[in-house]
C-alpha cells in the first residue's frame, strides 16, 4: 500500500522495544508499531526484527546486517552505536565511521534505510552528562544520512521526548507512549499518513517534583540500574546474553501481532 512489502529492523534494546511491555511479558516497541502501520492489515506484508538488547555496534553489523543484506527487504531501520558511545572514553567519531560502513553496504545493495539519531538527555538527572557525546554523534549521523541517501528520524528534536514521562525508570529506555510517538514520527518521515499526532502534548503534571525526591530517585536509580550496568561492563557481559531476536525471519504479521494492545496510561511527572 505504501510501497513497502517487507521490513527488517536492526539494532539494540531501543529497536527490540524495551520497555513497551505486552501482557505475555515480551516487548512491542516502536518497530513493531511501525510494522503494523506498514502492513495496514495485509497478509502479504513481511516483517523481521533482529534487534537485541545490549548489542554493541560491531555485533549489530556482524550478526544482523548480513541477514538484512541477504533478505533484501523494501526497508531497513537502523539505530546502533548508543551502547558504544555511553561507555567512558569511547571515541564517538570512530563509532560513526564504523556505522557508516553498514549504512553504505545497505544503500549499495539498493535497500532504503531509515536511521535514528540519539535523543536529548537534558531532562534526565545524571544521564544529562551524555548530551555532548550524543550531540556529536548526531551531527555525524546526519552527515552519513546525507552522503548515502538515508532518511533520518530526529529523536533529538522530538519535543514530547523532552518530558520525563517519555522515559522508563532506568533512564535508558522509553515508556510505551514514547514508543507509540516514535513509531508515528517514523511513519511521518516515510511519508505514511497516520491518524494520531506524535506532537500531542502530555497531560498537565499534578505536582512539580521536589529536590529531595529527585535526589532519592537518583540514589534508587544508581542502585537498581547504574551499578548493575557497571558490573556487566567490567565482566564483559550483556543484557542480551543467551537471548535470541524476537522475529528472526521475515514473516507476515499474524492476527495476534496486530491486536490493539492498550497503551499504558500516561505516567505522572516523575520525581
pLDDT computed for residue 257 by the predictor: 53
The residues of the chain scoring below 50 in pLDDT are 211-212, 221, 258-271
Place of cell 514521562: 165
How many CB atoms are closer than 10 A to CB 98? 17
Whether 264 is in a domain gets the answer: no
| DSSP3 helix / strand / coil % (the chain, rounded to 5) | 45, 10, 45
CATH assignment of the domain containing 187: 3.40.50.1110
CB 170 within 8 A of CB 221: yes
Burial state string for 114-135 with b = 16 or more CB within 10 A and e = fewer than 16: bbbbbbbbebbbebeebbebbb
Whether 269 is in a domain gets the answer: no
Whether 148 is in a domain gets the answer: yes
And the C-alpha cell for 236? 564483559
d(CA 266, CA 2): 31
Place of cell 528472526: 248
Place of cell 507512549: 177
Give the count of domains, the chain: 1
Whether 271 is in a domain gets the answer: no
pTM attached to this predicted model = 0.85
pLDDT computed for residue 205 by the predictor: 72
Q: What is the three-class DSSP state of 75?
A: strand
Whether 144 is in a domain gets the answer: yes
Domain with 33, as residue range(s), is 4-199+211-255
pLDDT computed for residue 207 by the predictor: 61
Amino acid at each position: 500500500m505504501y510501497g513497502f512489502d517487507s521490513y527488517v529492523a536492526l539494532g539494540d534494546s531501543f529497536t527490540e522495544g524495551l520497555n513497551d511491555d505486552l501482557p505475555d511479558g515480551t516487548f512491542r516497541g516502536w518497530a513493531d508499531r511501525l510494522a503494523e502501520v506498514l502492513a495496514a492489515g495485509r497478509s502479504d506484508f513481511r516483517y523481521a526484527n533482529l534487534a537485541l538488547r545490549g548489542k554493541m555496534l560491531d555485533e549489530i553489523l556482524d550478526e544482523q546486517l548480513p541477514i538484512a543484506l541477504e533478505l533484501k527487504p523494501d526497508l531497513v531501520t537502523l539505530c546502533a552505536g548508543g551502547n558504544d558511545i555511553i561507555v567512558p572514553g569511547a571515541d564517538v567519531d570512530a563509532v560513526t565511521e564504523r556505522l557508516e560502513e553498514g549504512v553504505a553496504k545497505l544503500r549499495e545493495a539498493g535497500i532504503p534505510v531509515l536511521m535514528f539519531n540519539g535523543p536529548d538527555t537534558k531532562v534526565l538527572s545524571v544521564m544529562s552528562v551524555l548530551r555532548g557525546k550524543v550531540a556529536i554523534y548526531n551531527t555525524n549521523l546526519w552527515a552519513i544520512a546525507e552522503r548515502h541517501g538515508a532518511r533520518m528520524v530526529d529523536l533529538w528534536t522530538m519535543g514530547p521526548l523532552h518530558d520525563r514521562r517519555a522515559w522508563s525508570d532506568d533512564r535508558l529506555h522509553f515508556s510505551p507512549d514514547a514508543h507509540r510517538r516514535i513509531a508515528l514520527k517514523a511513519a511521518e518521515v516515510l511519508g505514511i499518513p497516520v491518524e494520531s499526532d506524535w506532537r500531542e502534548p502530555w497531560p498537565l503534571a499534578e505536582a512539580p517534583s521536589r529536590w529531595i525526591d529527585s535526589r532519592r530517585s537518583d540514589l534508587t536509580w544508581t542502585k537498581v540500574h547504574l551499578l548493575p550496568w557497571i558490573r556487566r561492563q567490567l565482566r564483559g557481559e550483556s543484557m542480551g546474553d543467551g537471548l535470541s531476536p524476537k522475529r528472526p525471519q521475515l514473516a507476515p504479521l499474524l492476527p495476534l501481532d496486530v491486536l490493539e494492545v492498550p497503551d499504558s496510561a500516561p505516567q505522572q511527572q516523575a520525581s
